[in-house]
Structure 1
Amino acid sequence: MEASTVATAEPAAETENASYEYPGPRPLPGAILPHKRILAFYGNPLSKRMGILGEFPPEEMLQKLDQEVANWEKADSITPVQPALHVIVVTAQGEPSAGGKYRLRMTDKMIDGVLETAKKRDAIVFLDIQIGQSTLQEELPELEKYLKLPQVHLGIDPEFSMKNGGVPGRRIGTYDAADINYATQYLAELTKKHNLPPKLLVVHRFTQGMVTNTADIKLRPEVQVIMHMDGWGGPTLKRDTYRRYIKNEPVQFTGFKIFYKNDLKRPPGRLMTPEEVLALNPKPLYIQYQ
């Protein structure tokens, strides 16, 4: 519904000082955050309606990604920008679909295509899952051959996690800390088994109920958790949503989404500038454009 050259940061030792302000374990060598800011294009290459990643042919999309990277490098010349492609590989469905789980898994061919496109910019890749009435325990093993690659990371979307039944899109779903802990444990075990740099986990959020019991989320040195503000609207609304549901429960690192279309829907809608996003507290280290 609505990856290869591996990009890594400088060794953690270079940033271990009294100014370190992020919750959880200090970054292991090879960790991307907080050394870089990630800038991701989101969507699905098979759909022009799900985001910028699929709205244009790959080369044109990459040129637009280059421009956004340049905009952010200009706005913050201190923090290097890491480009990323954030692709939805399990999409929520309005019908029961195969297995009655209200979700559709994308083919390996589609995922392989995104990995090849990402190589052209040394971009990392996030595989995003909208589980419908399925579970993380059922979906993550299906992606293991990709998640064990050093440049591939994970996104999970509570909006389409229908824990108590129901049709995705008709109401907002939810994840509990226990679900997020399962995901981080799964990723941590992969990093240890395959000697990988730390993985990134993006958790989308724009309401209180989308993530429950955040105080119980376990932070692990092998996984960096990003709580990502996924709401759309004008700048005032977006700032308020970030304050309420991200700043108040940041967990570890934070993210912020810009919608090229939805943020313009309600007058006087406009896109927030990098400078405006950088004025938020805490400063997001993951930026996503849809």
Structure 2
Amino acid sequence: MKKTAITFLIFTQLILLSSCNQGKAADEVKGNEKITEVKIDSVKKKAQATIDTVDYNKRMIALSNNDTTGRWPVKTPYPLPGALLPYNRIIAFYGNLYSTRMGILGEIPREQMIAKLQGEVAKWNAADSTVKAIPALHYIAVTAQGSPGSANMYRMRMPFKQIDTVLKWAKPIDALVFLDIQIGHSTVKAEVSELIKYLSLPNVHLGIDPEFSLKNGHVPGTKIGSFTADDINDAIDILAKVVRENKLTPKVLVVHRFTQGMVTDYKRIKTLPEVQVVMDMDGFGSRVLKRSTYLTYIYREPVQFTGFKLFYKNDNWNNSKMYTPEELLKFTPKPSYIQFQ
């Protein structure tokens, strides 16, 4: 695996560390619902709406591509009604509005970007008519830094006005919004907690990036960071509380990964009815390397759902090409989340 190189964006005299786009190699659409009724003390009461479990199980088996190892589909609690997965496939554009180098979201003008995103959604709908492809804007709301900053946390929180802008862009195309965090020397709990007012909105979900989580004093970008199961569970607990308190449909949590050390103790990652966890293969490189990374760190360490990242520039080099939807649908399991950078 090639050593990670650092891309810096100069912004208000701080260094904005580019996520995933330089030198990193790969190492509410509802489901069917039903209402049941129960009698208690001769008084008829409505039980909570539940998903159609037969349909859900069928869809999960289809996602597993009939895996025979017993790993997939993962046995987890059924989600609350209104869950996005496995009924939909999320097609996301990733980036930051202050940078043209961190991803397609921010790299090109809004109208051009939206049209391109809708084109990718159409390709996935054509490739798989059994799972509806839906658009998403995946915005890096907390960026790791090469300098400590005033809080000595090696991270920068983007102004809320930028998140508001992304929400406005998402509305006309009925897109989901993901807020992504790179914690630097901070913690998942601290950074996610700052975004609760946005996560309390029905269409806003969360991404967390262990690459820039440095626990031993290292500067982000000088080495690849990591999350423990406890770090990821902190995000899950916060999201579950937001769902319960606001009576929302389940939140999606995307966890980026492209090395073994980026996520530890994966078997202890919680699975709850309120949160759907996507482990996203986040590296770039040759097609063989990317497939191998997906097999080694995503397929062999199952959590719940899977994702796959595609790089418009870094995957199209040295006679290599990005995977097509038809090719990715042959993977085991089929990814439920596709991110473009």
TM-score by length of 2: 0.81
Structure 2 equivalent of residue 181 of structure 1: 233
Structure 2 equivalent of residue 232 of structure 1: 284
Distance in structure 2 (CA, Å) of the matches to 1:275 and 1:14? 28
Instruction: Give unmatched runs, 5+ long, in structure 2.
Output: 1-16, 19-27, 34-50, 62-72
1:75 alignment partner, one of 96, 105, 127: 127
Structure 2 equivalent of residue 276 of structure 1: 327
Structure 2 equivalent of residue 288 of structure 1: 339
Structure 1 equivalent of residue 81 of structure 2: 29
Distance in structure 1 (CA, Å) of the matches to 2:211 and 2:336? 22
Quickly say closer, same or farther: Cα 1:15–1:120, change in 2 above 3 A.
farther
| 2:68 is the alignment partner of 1:16 | no
Structure 2 equivalent of residue 192 of structure 1: 244
* Cα deviation, residue 10, structure 1: 2.3
Distance in structure 1 (CA, Å) of the matches to 2:118 and 2:259? 31
Distance in structure 1 (CA, Å) of the matches to 2:78 and 2:122? 29
Q: 1:46 aligns to what SS in structure 2?
A: coil
Instruction: Give unmatched runs, 5+ long, in structure 1.
Output: none
1:205 alignment partner, one of 257, 275, 295: 257
Distance in structure 2 (CA, Å) of the matches to 1:169 and 1:275? 34
Structure 2 equivalent of residue 143 of structure 1: 195
Structure 1 equivalent of residue 273 of structure 2: 221
* Cα deviation, residue 15, structure 1: 5.2
Structure 1 equivalent of residue 296 of structure 2: 244
**Per-residue displacement from partner, 1:252-275 (whole Å, max 9, x unpaired)?**
00000000011124x122111111
| 2:95 is the alignment partner of 1:43 | yes
Q: 1:16 aligns to what SS in structure 2?
A: helix
* Cα deviation, residue 11, structure 1: 3.3
Distance in structure 1 (CA, Å) of the matches to 2:152 and 2:320? 39
The answer on whether the counterparts of 2:53 and 2:78 sit within 8 Å (CA) in structure 1 is no
TM-score by length of 1: 0.96
1:159 alignment partner, one of 208, 211, 222: 211
Distance in structure 2 (CA, Å) of the matches to 1:284 and 1:129? 22
Structure 1 equivalent of residue 117 of structure 2: 65
Distance in structure 2 (CA, Å) of the matches to 1:147 and 1:111? 11
1:259 corresponds to which letter in structure 2?
F
Q: 1:178 aligns to what SS in structure 2?
A: helix
Distance in structure 1 (CA, Å) of the matches to 2:229 and 2:338? 23
**Per-residue displacement from partner, 1:135-159 (whole Å, max 9, x unpaired)?**
1121111111101111000000000
Distance in structure 1 (CA, Å) of the matches to 2:31 and 2:112? 30
Distance in structure 2 (CA, Å) of the matches to 1:166 and 1:106? 22
1:53 corresponds to which letter in structure 2?
L
1:88 alignment partner, one of 126, 140, 152: 140
Give the stretch that moved more between structures: 105-114 or 269-278. 269-278
* Cα deviation, residue 59, structure 1: 1.1
